[in-house]
Structure 1
Amino acid sequence: MAFLGTTRPSLWRPNKGILRAALLAAALLAPSGVMASPVTDELKDAQLRGSATFRYLGLPIYDAKLYTPGGAPFSWSEDIGLQLTYRKNFKKKALVNSTLDEMDRIGRSAPVRNQLDQCFKAVTKGDSFLAVSDGPDKVSFWLNGQKTCTMSYPGIKRSFMSVFLGDNTRSASFTQKLQGR
């Protein structure tokens, strides 16, 4: 047994570099509600209401999270935060055009191409856009925590957010999960 006593301590020696890397990874992977973010700064008592993954032809395109004040049920009369975390790379032009196409398709078009051009940037896998409404006529956008712009237009909150949360979205089950139903 003396043999075990002399060899056992040398089997595992803590590596401080690995320990630091593990702690950093845990901090980066912590739930978004734990760390400060624009949604908690911009939306009073923001709490996660629902989440869903949007798929096209079975392929995951983005993960979405809906934040409401106090985690209350979704309501157009309340300000909301919508976060999209992309699973694919997309060019800015594709994001702008697809958003405008969807707004047209659901009957909520608005002449905001120039504003979307300023707000949207190209995204790569893992990038997150956050949109937070401020009343019915303003929506502010952040890309990976950095504010990109504020869009202003009569009814822009409903026009833009209806692409994800409206009655005529591309996927009713996605919208229901996102709304926490």
Structure 2
Amino acid sequence: MRSFLALLWLLLAPASAQANTVESVLPNAELRGAATFRFVGFPLYKARLFTQSGAPLDWNKDFGLELQYMRNLTEFDLVESTMREFARLGSSVPVRGQLETCFDDVRKGDRYTAVSQGQNKIAFWLNGKRTCTLSHPQIKSRFMGIFLGENTRSKSFTGKLKGE
């Protein structure tokens, strides 16, 4: 019985830690919107936006973004796709080295959470464990803009994520 309870705790503890990452670091965080991002029709990740009190997205306030992956991806995939999006959006940002520290391989079900800390920092967690803080001028609008900006890859995805 004791081993069953220990196994049950191990299975349930990470889920609760993942679910509460944003809420534990962002005061009054509430879910604002959610969407699934698809690439060539295949679901890549589910995203959830958390804002203070679930209010509409305000770029002047801190907010959190959680991505739950629906596919296995390597650190290289995550870094390269982020750098390509920066270039596509016209804001080449010299943060490759920081991203390589922040990102790790993900498996189906893994969750990356990013929470802004002002305009120039974003803290990252993988499955509830802090991985790094990405620092660069205006990194909040540049990185989060990939998912929430005016020129995202999917207006429908972004609208649902923003709860519009």
What SS is found at the alignment partner of 2:97? helix
TM-score normalized with structure 2 length? 0.89
Question: How far did residue 75 of structure 1 move?
Answer: 1.2
| Distance in structure 2 (CA, Å) of the matches to 1:35 and 1:42 | 12
| Identity across matched positions, percent | 52
Could you report, residue by residue, the CA deviation over 1:14-41 in whole angstroms, capped at 9, with x for unpaired residues? xx9xxx8xx87xx67x8x6x98622112
What SS is found at the alignment partner of 2:71? coil
Match of 2:46 in 1: 63
Of the three residues 151, 155, 159, the one matched with 1:168 is 151
| Distance in structure 2 (CA, Å) of the matches to 1:119 and 1:128 | 13
Aligned: 1:38 with 2:18: no
Question: How far did residue 109 of structure 1 move?
Answer: 2.5
Question: How far did residue 57 of structure 1 move?
Answer: 1.0
| Distance in structure 1 (CA, Å) of the matches to 2:63 and 2:79 | 21
| Distance in structure 2 (CA, Å) of the matches to 1:35 and 1:106 | 30
**Which structure 1 residue ranges, 4+ long, deviate > 4 Å from structure 2?**
none
User: Which residue identity lines up with residue 144 of structure 1 in the other structure?
Assistant: N
What SS is found at the alignment partner of 1:90? coil
Match of 1:94 in 2: 77
Match of 1:147 in 2: 130
RMSD: 2.5
Which has more radius of gyration? Answer: 1
What SS is found at the alignment partner of 1:149? strand
What SS is found at the alignment partner of 1:131? strand
Larger relative contact order, structure 1 or 2 (CA cutoff 8 Å, min sep 6): 2
Of the three residues 58, 62, 66, the one matched with 1:75 is 58
Contact 2:78-2:103 at 8 Å conserved across structures: yes
Count of aligned positions: 162
User: Which residue identity lines up with residue 36 of structure 2 in the other structure?
Assistant: T
| Distance in structure 1 (CA, Å) of the matches to 2:158 and 2:86 | 15
Contact 1:109-1:159 at 8 Å conserved across structures: no
